[in-house]
A and B are shown apart, each in its own frame.
Chain A
Amino acid sequence: MAKKMHDTPMLDQLESGPWPSFVTGLKRMAKNNDMAVDLLGQLEASYRDLKGYWKGGTVGVFGYGGGVIPRFTELKKDDKPVFPDAAEFHTLRIQPPPGMHYSSKLLRDMSTLWEKHGSGLIAFHGQSGDIMFQGCTTANVQPAFDELNEMGFDMGGAGPALRTSMSCVGAARCEMSCFDEARALRTVINNNLDDMHRPALPYKFKFKFSGCPNDCVNSIQRSDMATIGTWRDNIQVNEKLAKEYFATHGMDKLMTDVVGLCPTKALSVKKISEASKAEGISSVAVNDTHALQIENHNCVRCMHCLNVMPGALLPGKDRGVSILIGGKSVLKIGATMGTMVIPFMKLESDEDYEKLNELARNVIDFFAENALEHERTGEMIDRIGLVNFLDGVGIEVDPNMILEPRSNPYARMDGWDEEVEKWNERQAG
């Protein structure tokens, strides 16, 4: 039995209603857990005063400089915590298996471990992708981490460091997947752990990996380097499934939901007898008379038609990834999205993965050397211009990097002839 519960009239109102209630969960914990009793007390005070009552500090584990989010209560009376059993309530950020797969045993083991060393409260998962083991005293941080570490789990990132990464479910269960997302994630992160565990970068750096341009892990907007699956050849077609789609949806739906929403007008419906056999055209019969035709050279791999006709249309066979750099949230220049810097690279062989790893390392190094303190990669590019970034990491310019060329003349162009020469050489080579 734990100590007596505090009155929580406001939190109690979050116990009704059909959605699972975290308050009910906390109360269940509080039956034999003093930390949960006092956590509820402090949370109620926050609800009442509309004020957060945590402050940071410095707590860590031996050998690492980050990964623990320290929380000390600020709610004090005569210098004593009002809720002493939750006066220290730190979080351990732990990296999950990529794709967030768990066996029931792993869930139970984690829960048991955290009930022993911490509050028992676990968030699956934080927005950056960590398992957040919430609620630990300073004294218990080390033993909790040691046990998790012995189970094969490692600390995630916090502070000015490489952060925990995320990949979509991808190859494990999605036909849109264009590369092995988990392998790419583990290659890049596990080769750069020093920058995660011993924070010394100008600011945070995030990698994210999405198997296709549906970008289910939000890599363009939320990561400094986004790796997104794509393909170079024609969309693959499956006539049986295309006919099934047509049989249930009909011509109207095919025209409005599929053809009509293609952003680049790459789709059309043709009489089978008139369907093109040219290179770069895929076409699939949807009934005995008509075929859906895709002009692959003008398809921007937006995924829409593949989403609407699953299985009937699939990514091509010559798969790889696109890479975008510089996505971030609001601070300080406003949110920015990543910019396309590598339109296509293969990601199949060991050497391909090694190349991705080298590129990642180059980008981190350039960031480490050139960003100002507390500046994200996107902000740095805003300041120095994309071309200086490309020069720095050794990437050649490509018209896929822009939406349109410059519309102002404010540039010194005395190197024009040399640049033309370079372009011609690249085109020839």
Chain B
Amino acid sequence: MAEMRQPIECGVPDAKPYMHPTMLKNYGKWVYHSHPKPGVLYHRAESGDEIWTVKAGTQRQMDGYTIRKLADIADQYAEGFVRFTTRSNIEYMVTDEKKVEPLIKALFDSGFPVGGTANSVSMISHTQGFLHCDIPGTDASGVVKALMDDLYEEFIKCEMPNRVKLSTSCCEINCGGQADIAIIMQHTKPPKINHDLVANVCERPTVVARCPVAAIRPALVNGKPSLEVDEKKCICCGACYPPCPPMQINDPEHSKIAIWVGGKNSNARSRPTFHKLVASGLPNNAPRWPEVGEVVKKILNVYKADARPWERMTDWIERIGWPRFFEKTGLPFTKYHIDDWKGHRRTLNASAHIRF
């Protein structure tokens, strides 16, 4: 056998060779920014150097044509350098204000919407889905494409009270993360066990240990080692599925989509918050998930009309209270909204504070 090449364990590369020279020159020396228009940021450094950033949405999963198109735009209309945001938006930096408008035009003309800055609805952070995960209940890129088509105007305009960050996740593991509005798969039936597979594939102790409510027991089924699930205990979280593919949790009909609101990462005003359940039971309706889009738009419209400037989703709900949130959005309040997981009593109203 030919000698194998040893990897060069070089780790994280230095960003300097790939950074716009004006950013490099003024590294750590920026003193001011403003938001001249949707999709455009202006930054000024101590030295007086200025830079304009134009932000555009992408599909995240990019084919070669798309990547080269983005690179060509960087060379023709910008200054050869780009960066990506955590939400897969691309940013072009230019040091001449006159380049901003032609760059915006080139991006729109090539199908990349310019926006996503400040108080807009930015690109949805998304996961792998059917395209690449081995446990997904639904797709990721498709859900995002369908929703962003719906929210396009909110991306290219900045008309929200504060920034709105969305995420989608194709299982309850929630790789998409906490967000102002998060769209997450919610299973409603315990896994159906494929016993024939268990004996061959499964690491039984690993699976048993993975269940958060100890609902899985080793068992003999038809004389072979397998597992059984206590269906009364099971909370349908799907945690047993990644380590044990025979634990079939995904179900075309009973795997539903839930919507959560009020997650916030930043420390601005209130401490960071986790998103909270507001709706569930929505159908996994590929390829465009219209029922999900309806609920998301409904929540966004009420937030847009009712929240004060700078209030994130969570700040707004904190001010108006949950009863009013359900009243204003018209979303039903059910027993499933009341938490019963460990520590849940912290989430109950232990006061006489009521709004009428």
Interface pair B267/A214, CB less than 8 Å apart: yes
Segment at the interface with A among B129-137, B216-224, B297-305: B129-137
- Supposing A173-B43, A332-B210 touch, asked if A215 and B178 sit within 8 A by C-beta, the answer is no
Least distance between B120 CB and chain A CB atoms (Å): 14
Least distance between B112 CB and chain A CB atoms (Å): 6
Interface pair A146/B5, CB less than 8 Å apart: yes
Tell me if B17 is interfacial: C-beta within 8 Å of chain A.
yes
Contacts of B309 in A (CB 8 A): 253, 256-257
Segment at the interface with A among B23-31, B97-105, B187-195, B321-329: B23-31
Least distance between B125 CB and chain A CB atoms (Å): 6
- Supposing A11-B287, A173-B43 touch, asked if A17 and B9 sit within 8 A by C-beta, the answer is no
With most chain B CB atoms within 10 A of its CB, the pick from A25, A39, A171, A263 is A25
Least distance between A97 CB and chain B CB atoms (Å): 4
B58, B68, B270: which contacts A20 (Cβ < 8 A)?
A: B58
Tell me if B157 is interfacial: C-beta within 8 Å of chain A.
no
- Supposing A95-B12, A127-B177, A152-B10 touch, asked if A101 and B145 sit within 8 A by C-beta, the answer is no
State the B residues within 8 Å of A (CB).
4-15, 17-20, 23-24, 27-28, 30-34, 43-44, 51, 53, 57-68, 70-72, 74-75, 80-86, 88, 90, 93, 111-113, 125-127, 129-139, 141-142, 145-146, 148-149, 152, 172-178, 206, 209-212, 237, 239, 245, 250, 252, 255, 263, 265-270, 272, 274, 284, 286-288, 308-310, 341-342
Least distance between A244 CB and chain B CB atoms (Å): 10
Contacts of B210 in A (CB 8 A): 331-332, 374
- Supposing A257-B310, A302-B268 touch, asked if A189 and B113 sit within 8 A by C-beta, the answer is no
Interface pair B63/A302, CB less than 8 Å apart: no
Tell me if A251 is interfacial: C-beta within 8 Å of chain B.
no
B11, B83, B139: which contacts A102 (Cβ < 8 A)?
A: B83
Least distance between A317 CB and chain B CB atoms (Å): 12
Interface pair A22/B33, CB less than 8 Å apart: no
Interface pair B111/A104, CB less than 8 Å apart: no
Q: Complex Cα distance A189/B12, Å? A: 7
State the A residues within 8 Å of B (CB).
10-11, 13-14, 16-23, 25-26, 28-29, 36, 39, 43, 46-47, 49-56, 61-64, 69, 71, 89, 91, 95-108, 110-112, 114-115, 120-125, 127, 129, 132, 134, 142, 145-146, 149-150, 152-155, 165-166, 169, 171-175, 177, 180, 182, 185-186, 189-190, 193, 197, 213-218, 220-222, 238, 241, 253, 256-257, 261-263, 300-304, 307-308, 310-311, 314, 329-335, 337, 373-374
A49, A103, A213, A331: which contacts B252 (Cβ < 8 A)?
A: A49
With most chain A CB atoms within 10 A of its CB, the pick from B12, B34, B71, B266 is B12
Interface pair A186/B12, CB less than 8 Å apart: yes
Contacts of B74 in A (CB 8 A): 103-104, 107
15 more A-B residue pairs beyond the given contacts A62-B5, A103-B17, with a C-beta to C-beta distance below 8 A? A19-B57, A19-B113, A20-B113, A25-B66, A47-B130, A52-B137, A53-B130, A97-B13, A102-B81, A132-B132, A154-B10, A189-B11, A214-B267, A304-B269, A329-B175
B60, B131, B209: which contacts A43 (Cβ < 8 A)?
A: B131
Q: Complex Cα distance A330/B182, Å? A: 14
Interface pair A104/B266, CB less than 8 Å apart: no
Sampled A-B contacts (19; CB under 8 Å): A10-B287, A19-B113, A21-B59, A22-B59, A29-B65, A46-B139, A50-B137, A50-B284, A64-B7, A98-B15, A101-B18, A104-B82, A105-B80, A142-B5, A146-B5, A174-B43, A215-B272, A330-B174, A374-B210
Complex: chain B residue closest to A30, CB-CB = B63
Q: Complex Cα distance A18/B56, Å? A: 13
Contacts of B175 in A (CB 8 A): 127, 329
Interface pair A52/B135, CB less than 8 Å apart: yes
Contacts of A29 in B (CB 8 A): 63-65
Interface pair B11/A154, CB less than 8 Å apart: yes
Least distance between B184 CB and chain A CB atoms (Å): 9
B11, B138, B267: which contacts A302 (Cβ < 8 A)?
A: B267
- Supposing A103-B80, A122-B67, A214-B266 touch, asked if A13 and B288 sit within 8 A by C-beta, the answer is yes
With most chain A CB atoms within 10 A of its CB, the pick from B32, B130, B174 is B130
Q: Complex Cα distance A86/B93, Å? A: 38
- Supposing A102-B83, A261-B310 touch, asked if A22 and B132 sit within 8 A by C-beta, the answer is no
Q: Complex Cα distance A388/B276, Å? A: 31
Q: Complex Cα distance A218/B212, Å? A: 25
Shortest 7 CB-CB contacts between residues of A and residues of B: A17-B149, A311-B32, A46-B130, A97-B15, A25-B63, A190-B11, A213-B267
Contacts of A11 in B (CB 8 A): 142, 287
Interface pair B272/A337, CB less than 8 Å apart: yes
Q: Complex Cα distance A163/B228, Å? A: 34
Q: Complex Cα distance A270/B8, Å? A: 61
- Supposing A55-B245, A165-B12, A333-B342 touch, asked if A127 and B176 sit within 8 A by C-beta, the answer is yes
Contacts of B23 in A (CB 8 A): 101, 172-173
Contacts of A115 in B (CB 8 A): 64
Contacts of B28 in A (CB 8 A): 171, 177, 180
Contacts of A46 in B (CB 8 A): 130, 139
Interface pair A127/B127, CB less than 8 Å apart: yes
Q: Complex Cα distance A253/B308, Å? A: 11
Q: Complex Cα distance A264/B221, Å? A: 61
- Supposing A52-B250, A104-B74 touch, asked if A221 and B177 sit within 8 A by C-beta, the answer is yes
Least distance between A324 CB and chain B CB atoms (Å): 10
Least distance between A221 CB and chain B CB atoms (Å): 5
Complex: chain B residue closest to A228, CB-CB = B267
Complex: chain B residue closest to A165, CB-CB = B12
- Supposing A108-B68, A332-B212 touch, asked if A190 and B12 sit within 8 A by C-beta, the answer is yes
Interface pair A20/B59, CB less than 8 Å apart: yes
Q: Complex Cα distance A17/B134, Å? A: 28
Interface pair A50/B33, CB less than 8 Å apart: no
Complex: chain A residue closest to B148, CB-CB = A19
With most chain A CB atoms within 10 A of its CB, the pick from B17, B66, B286 is B66
- Supposing A25-B65, A261-B310 touch, asked if A215 and B267 sit within 8 A by C-beta, the answer is yes
Contacts of B44 in A (CB 8 A): 311
Contacts of B27 in A (CB 8 A): 171-172, 180
B15, B62, B111, B133: which contacts A101 (Cβ < 8 A)?
A: B15
A56, A104, A122, A190: which contacts B81 (Cβ < 8 A)?
A: A104
Contacts of A20 in B (CB 8 A): 57-59, 66, 111-113, 145
